[in-house]
A = this chain, B = another copy of it.
């Protein structure tokens, strides 16, 4: 039997697992809740137990696996196999993840951060079509990214691919990083809402979005996009502003990396082609001709599975 991969996508609320073929086809998947109590000290033991339990269930043994790959929040030391500063896991101190999981399962283990791993997944089995150069932008609570050049993830000194902190508007909105005008302040789920609140203040026309904001209703990024699709004037302007910054950032990433694809994923990208087409229009305005004519923008295709698939691909290094 051909050897398999295990992919683990560690998040703040759930831990997703999958067993995949070496070609990236998912054969089994399951998930467990993330127990962040006691400084997250249950997380690694839970992962080990869940893997061993499922191997038992499927009557499989460690030697049938090439390796385990995992995506995690926080700052990863890939060589040491450690993670630090994953605050949504309550991991404040250095976690010796690789050593513990290899010991607990008897299977080789590799890890990288969650956005990088999702980029690997989309590149391998999703919108990236296994191209050599793929830029992945994920629009969630924040804006993250993973950049693949000549088939390899870019890490630089560790923080390469932090596309959420590309400055798209000097003197723009204040970001959690302390700077002003980071892409994340406009194009994350919270950013979209912020743009909406801001533009609503100086908007006087007829708009459902404006009414909702004035009534103090809770609004979401999804609501803004839904209203824009229904031709709400203010919502359309908000989406236009968000797409302007995404198009600008995509063009500048592409002038630097010249990828085959810029893939846009994450919760906000659920707005689909409505989002993509508007980002593309600005991308074509801001990218210089060589890039404009060769780099393509696409929506992510794997949804929640990008993480486990990309994570599993990390283990291919043990093949």
Contact = CB atoms under 8 A, between A and B. Distances in A.
A307 interface: no
Contact of A157 (B156, B175, B177, B260): B260
A31 interface: no
A191 to B, nearest CB: 15
* Count of identical protomers in the assembly: 2
Contacts of A159: 255, 258, 290-291, 294
A163 interface: yes
B147 A150 contact: no
* A167, A259, A289, A294, most chain B CB atoms within 10 A: A167
A157 B248 contact: no
A257 B256 contact: yes
A208 interface: no
A149 interface: yes
A interface residue count range (under 10 / 10 to 19 / 20 to 34 / 35 or more): 35 or more
A313 interface: no
Contact of A179 (B133, B150, B286): B286
A152 B160 CA distance: 15
Contacts of A147: 256
Interface string A242-285: 00100010011101111110000000000000000000000001
A226 interface: no
Contacts of A252: 166-167, 252
Contacts of A244: 170
A289 B154 contact: no
A175 B288 CA distance: 9
Interface string A159-201: 1111101110010000101110010000000000000000000
B288 A157 contact: no
A152 B132 CA distance: 14
B182 A290 contact: no
Nearest to A291: B159
